[in-house]
Structure 1
Amino acid sequence: MTVTIRPVVQSDLDLVCRHREEMFRSSGHPEEVLAEMVGPYRAWQEASLEDGSYFGFVAECDGTAVGGIGGMMLDWPPHPLHPQSSKRGYILNLFVEPGWRGQGIARDLMRAVETDLRARGLSFAILHATQQGRSLYEKSGWKPTSEMARQI
């Protein structure tokens, strides 16, 4: 079976929202907190997909989504890690369905979003790592700071 990576689209709203909720659930966040987040996050996600401020990718196998990832460009003052730029990339919502983990899908999604951020003129990105994802990021060259960071 071949997994393909495609850009996220507006009709992926339910998928992105479910992936985010499952991502936080699998990292141990309490159900009552997740329940509070669902409505506000959906409203934010819908608007950000519509205006293009959220972009990303979906991994599919035979038309079924098996993973996804998001990206954003953040306004950020020039910084020693990106001294010529007032923007940095932000990677979020990396999620692979449990039955599909360990096959390189997360790595491929990360590569896709990093390539996209570079194409948008960015040379630096951040993300927040769960314990589950930390080794993936570190193997790919991300370095721990108060956030996870990597030159891209």
Structure 2
Amino acid sequence: MTCDLRPLTPHDLDLICRQRNDMFRSMEMSEDLITRMDPAFRAWLRDRLSDGTYFGFVADLDNRPVGGIGLMEIEFPPHPAHPETTRRGRILNLFVEPEARGQGIARQLVQAAESEFRKRGLTYAVLHATDMSRPLYEQDGWRGTAEMEKLLAPD
């Protein structure tokens, strides 16, 4: 199934926040943590939607949003994967409504993201995949990296 894709605008703030919260709910994150995170994310996102540093697409089906993807260009030092540039693409907040899943919408959004990165001259992109989304990305040529994480307690 092919959806109509449109670029994100500052008017999509509430939609993006709701989809992101639903994404975290589908990952079984606690409602308390989602509630605590939402105001800070909303303020962060408002600024970045306004200045265009957070961009992406909404997937509309029958004039109703059924998915979305967020994108950023991030600065990163030259690296073996991009030895002559300090720019990377970053995918965030890929989400498709449960009733619209399994119809190729997520793949359409990812392909649009890759195309947008290429238009901006970005030749390397990163993302964090959930267990649910990992097969989609792998089928499209994405591969895992050796990245690790650690939550540091404040002093």
| TM bracket (short chain) | over 0.9
Unpaired stretches in structure 1, ≥5 consecutive residues: 148-152
Q: Distance in 1 between matches of 2:60 and 2:33?
A: 29
Residue in 1 that maps onto 2:118: 118
Q: Which amino acid aligns with 1:134?
A: R
Q: Is structure 2 residue 78 aligned with structure 1 residue 78?
A: yes
Q: Distance in 2 between matches of 1:136 and 1:111?
A: 11
Q: Distance in 1 between matches of 2:28 and 2:142?
A: 23
1:1-152 correspondence to structure 2 within 5 Å? 3-146=3-146
Q: Distance in 1 between matches of 2:26 and 2:13?
A: 20
Where do 4+ consecutive residues of structure 1 move more than 6 Å? none
How far off its partner does 1:3 sit?
Answer: 1.8
How far off its partner does 1:146 sit?
Answer: 3.2
Residue in 2 that maps onto 1:150: none
Q: Which amino acid aligns with 2:58?
A: V
Q: Distance in 2 between matches of 1:96 and 1:5?
A: 13
Q: Distance in 2 between matches of 1:53 and 1:2?
A: 27
Q: Which amino acid aligns with 2:49?
A: L
Q: Distance in 2 between matches of 1:25 and 1:97?
A: 12
User: CA 1:2 to 1:109, structure 2 compared with 1: closer, same or farther past 3 Å?
Assistant: closer
Q: Distance in 1 between matches of 2:60 and 2:117?
A: 21
Unpaired stretches in structure 2, ≥5 consecutive residues: 148-155
SS where residue 108 of structure 1 aligns? Answer: helix
Identity rate, percent:
54
Q: Distance in 1 between matches of 2:28 and 2:83?
A: 37
Q: How many residues align?
A: 147
Q: Deviations over 1:8-29 (max 9, x none)?
A: 1111110001111111110111
SS where residue 132 of structure 1 aligns? Answer: coil
Q: Which amino acid aligns with 1:45?
A: L
TM-score where L is the length of structure 1: 0.94
- Indicate the RMSD between aligned Cα atoms, in angstroms: 1.1
Whether the aligned pair in 1 keeps the contact of 2:17 and 2:42 (CA below 8 Å) is yes
